[in-house]
Amino acid sequence: MDSFHYLFAIFLFFMLGEHLLVDGLGCNWGLQATHPLPPDIVVKLMKDNRFNKVKLFEADPRAMRALGRSGIQVMVGIPNDMLAGIAGSVRVAEEWVAQNVSYYLSKQGVDIRYVAVGNEPFLKTYNDRFTQITFPALQNIQAALIKAGLGRDVKATVPLNADVYQSDSGVPSGGNFRPDIHDLMVSIVKFLNDNGAPLTINIYPFLSLYADPHFPVDFAFFDDGASPVVDGSITYTNVFDANYDTLISALEKNGFPSMPIIVGEVGWPTDGDRNANNQLARRFNQGLLDRINQGRGTPKRPTPPDIYLFSLIDEDAKSIDPGNFERHWGVFYFDGTIKYPLDMGGGRNLTAAKGVRYLSRQWCIMAPDANLLDPNLPQSINFACTYADCTSLGPGSSCGGLDARGNASYAFNMYYQTMNQRSGACEQFHNLSIVTRIDPGFHGGSCKYEIMIDNGRHEQARNPGTSSAGNMRSSVGLWAAMLALIIVCGYLN
């Protein structure tokens, strides 16, 4: 090969390699945060890290506007609590499409490719609340897209949890849809197939490990360290492949062997559980990225699907009903800083968010002369953790090794920061707290005492909404009370 053709081959290799990464990787952008990053900074963060697809759980106006003319393809979601209205009225569906798809496509230049109708509506924990309305809502949204002249360019899908299928034999070849929703799933898949839309599935190896203490840890990862599972002529070395191919078997059994699939959510959290940490998250996500960059699929589907990493940024106001880890799925911390190194392909590492402004460098901590036996301490911690995120204090979490005074200081500071360091916010705790300009965190450990984003210094930033605070209060109250009891009892014992 002469030098020209050699150099051209190298150039082509790098161009195709980068194209492969760009076409194969998306991310989820959740908005349940008390101090959200400004949308323009988030969009720049995605572009800097070559995420060219994003999934939103709702059509947030500021997020949608920021995505306009960005070159990022968008899957925009419809929350589950809107499904009943859309299922019951084609007119409601048409209005939603007009306001949240047609408008942003034509007026804002948002590259909308998919509408996600609901989010995991068939979870068993919902007790069939959405079972009868999801398919009619999907049909009405599809009809509305067609009426708006968007049926060819924008596809309606339903992001589903992997519990909609199972294998009675324990191996992927035994896969079929869950018996209680089998016929419904077949109807939905047929409808999607008829309209040229993909099936969207969320797969979480972490949850397999979280739910079963006897689950083989190495089987959750992609580095071939686990004992393999043999299914006929196929050998599986990780749960992602086995789970995905269980779905493929279910589709094959029901007449859809070539059904296109999107993995709508997959990732690993970094806090809130003993198996949720930066080391394991990096191990999982790096293995996932390597597969995407190598063009590797699963044994039954060698070509990888489009994958949306869950998630881009931590969300401190999410419900913790599934577990404390729910607020810590981000590849980036809440402020867009990097949690751990990731090779994104071609030697490119993660790039942190730029232009983020913070509140003053000051913290609220337990006063040095405050007594740990003060009877007001438990209720003070309970109050702080009801209105702020204390999930990092749980057993096995990044701040789980603090002493009683450190726990109280962490709780007080999270409340103080969540309340924007406002005057009097550190005085809510019965003279047990003071403001300091000396960072009380780190000291060789993993625990970080946060300083929040100063949304007021970002020109278009949104202040924390009451809906986020309400979500946090309803989710955390009982947990906060238990935490306060653990802190005090731990000290007394």
Catalytic residue list? 120, 265
Rounded Cα distance, 435 and 425, in Å = 10
Residue 55: both structure tokens together: 């999934």
| Residue 50 region by backbone torsions, left for phi larger than 0, else alpha for psi between -120 and 50, else beta | left
Q: Does an H or E element contain 54, and which?
A: strand 53-56
Q: In angstroms, how far is CA 343 from the centroid of its own chain?
A: 20
Q: Can you list the pairs that 318-323 forms with residues at least 24 positions away whose Cβ atoms lie under 8 Å?
A: 318/30, 318/32, 318/471, 318/475, 319/471, 319/474, 319/475, 320/272, 320/391, 320/475, 320/476, 320/479, 321/475, 323/210, 323/272, 323/273
Taken in order 447, 437, 464, 63, is the CA torsion positive or negative? negative
Query: What is the DSSP secondary structure assignment for residue 217, as one 8-state letter?
Result: G
Taken in order 366, 371, 374, 378, is the CA torsion positive or negative? positive
Specify whether the CB–CB gap between 100 and 76 falls below 8 A. yes
Residue 155: both structure tokens together: 């596809």
Query: What is the DSSP secondary structure assignment for residue 469, as one 8-state letter?
Result: H
Does residue 311 have a cis bond before it (omega within 30 degrees)? yes
Q: Where are the alpha helices (DSSP H) in 89-172?
A: 90-97, 103-106, 134-147
